[in-house]
Homo-oligomer: A and B are copies of this chain.
């Protein structure tokens, strides 16, 4: 049956039509970033709709980050921030989170992070380097009793490396992963005595390789680091 009859009554609501209309104008750059949209009243006339329908369309657009509505001032087309794009991803993963996803996070990190380290070595800027080096200092100074903070710094190191690739696809991929890591901690029994020094050692070697733009060494060190790290993870993983 599905092959024969296709949907006809896609009763697209009026506000949805308006939304698509404006979205198309933005996609086609007829409304460039920073452009001020006509006022609500004017748009009402242009589309020949009520203010209610129009406003609901505008709410949708602003919820998706395409426009910014400033009370008393007007509406402008905004550059979609990477944060906006990622936020819906975060929500998606957040609701999907379970032990299965944890395994897939580990799988992903083992597979991708060495490549990411390599890419970071090739593309990193001076600022990226500073961020990573600052993280090393922070890690070294961190009170070893504060396992929460220690773990957070650790996670941020890997995110800094991902950012150092300067590749938006890599960053978009790893940001949500990073946001899930704190939740993963609840599934791990404990931190291991003496792990900190080992972790810091690896981090330093990785940064050194990235500093010298030695892609292969960055790759190898990251791989060794994660292999060891994930062994610990698996050992203390709460199998239910």
A79 CB contacts on chain B under 8 angstroms: 95
Chain multiplicity (copies): 2
CB–CB A95/B27 < 8 A? yes
CB–CB A172/B52 < 8 A? no
Nearest to A107 among chain B residues (CB) is B167
A104 CB contacts on chain B under 8 angstroms: 167-169
* Interface size band for A: 35 or more
A101 CB contacts on chain B under 8 angstroms: 168
Give Cα A111 to B173, complex, Å: 14
Q: Give chain B nearest CB distance to A103 CB in angstroms.
A: 9
A168 CB contacts on chain B under 8 angstroms: 93, 96, 101, 104
**Contact bitstring A63-102, B, C-beta under 8 A = 1, else 0:** 1111000010000000110101100110111111000010
Nearest to A180 among chain B residues (CB) is B169
Known: A80-B95, A89-B85, A92-B84. A59 touches B63 (CB 8 A): yes
Give Cα A101 to B169, complex, Å: 9
A residues adjacent to B (C-beta < 8 A): 11, 13, 15, 19, 26-27, 33, 52, 55-56, 59-66, 71, 79-80, 82, 84-85, 88-89, 91-96, 101, 104-105, 107-108, 111-112, 115-116, 118-119, 167-170, 172-173, 176-177
Can you give 27 contacting A-B residue pairs, CB < 8 Å? A11-B71, A19-B63, A33-B95, A59-B63, A60-B62, A60-B63, A61-B63, A64-B64, A64-B91, A65-B88, A66-B91, A79-B95, A80-B88, A82-B92, A85-B92, A88-B88, A89-B89, A89-B172, A101-B168, A108-B169, A108-B170, A111-B115, A111-B116, A111-B118, A111-B119, A169-B173, A169-B177
